[in-house]
Chain A
Amino acid sequence: DAKTTQPPSMDCAEGRAANLPCNHSTISGNEYVYWYRQIHSQGPQYIIHGLKNNETNEMASLIITEDRKSSTLILPHATLRDTAVYYCIVRPFGSGNTGKLIFGQGTTLQVKP
């Protein structure tokens, strides 16, 4: 079962920042937070991941709270092509872990003109 909770849907105006929250209150010390998205039934696409520090790449920023119980994915300037289902996933690393991703229901982000 997924260990994260996300709102089922959100809207965002084109050109504005999209802030997608995720709750992972039972996260363990050996678990990273990953974000993927799935655009219209295409294959999931990796966005970003982090452990405890904030992370930024060319696609997005990831803000993780100090207690690591929640995080926010930020798309700084959303476009219509960012309309997708966004999945927040906690994934353990280290010996004995297979690296598989367990997807929840995700947040459907609708970017509107």
Chain B
Amino acid sequence: NAGVMQNPRHLVRRRGQEARLRCSPMKGHSHVYWYRQLPEEGLKFMVYLQKENIIDESGMPKERFSAEFPKEGPSILRIQQVVRGDSAAYFCASSPYGQGSTGELFFGEGSRLTVL
């Protein structure tokens, strides 16, 4: 059973371009979480999605950032008009369990975005 797959692993964008980060959860997992880790800082929760629904986006910046988890295909974190401060590692985690469960989250290896 493959783990959580994130791609690209490394992405370089110039200021003003768009970045799309993809996350394929583990097989059978329908819950996806996105986290951001700025250089030398801790992991910050961004958004929690179930298939076709955003459940909790309390950690998402209000502008330029969006996320989706369609019925088919991977979850996508989209950053429009990137700025240098968006340079970070973005981690995706998945879980087969519903809200309120005690099951652990399984993390991918992350996508590292560099904005020039």
A-side interface mostly? loop
Contact of A43 among B99, B104, B109 (CB under 8 A): B109
Residues in A whose Cβ lies below 8 Å from that of B4: 43
Instruction: Pick from A12-20, A58-66, A70-78, A92-100 the stretch touching chain B.
Output: A92-100
Contact of A94 among B45, B100, B103, B105 (CB under 8 A): B100
Residues in B whose Cβ lies below 8 Å from that of A49: 102, 104
CA–CA, A99 and B102, complex, Å: 7
CA–CA, A100 and B95, complex, Å: 10
A100 touches B44 (CB 8 A): no
CA–CA, A102 and B44, complex, Å: 7
Instruction: Check A104 for interface membership: any CB of B closer than 8 A.
Output: yes
How many positions in chain A have a CB within 8 Å of any CB in the partner chain?
Answer: 27
A34 touches B104 (CB 8 A): yes
* A41-53 interface code vs B (CB 8 A; 1 in, 0 out): 1111110010000
Q: In this complex, what residue of A is CB-closest to B3?
A: A43
Contact of B45 among A87, A92, A102, A105 (CB under 8 A): A102
Instruction: Check B31 for interface membership: any CB of A closer than 8 A.
Output: yes
Partner-A contacts on B (CB < 8 A): 4, 31, 33, 35, 37, 42-45, 48, 55-56, 89, 91, 93, 95, 97, 99-110
* Other A-B pairs beyond A87-B43, A97-B99, A99-B97, 10, CB < 8 Å: A41-B110, A43-B93, A49-B102, A93-B101, A99-B95, A99-B100, A101-B33, A103-B42, A103-B43, A105-B42
9 contacts between A and B (CB under 8 A): A42-B110, A44-B107, A87-B43, A93-B100, A94-B100, A96-B99, A99-B95, A100-B33, A100-B48
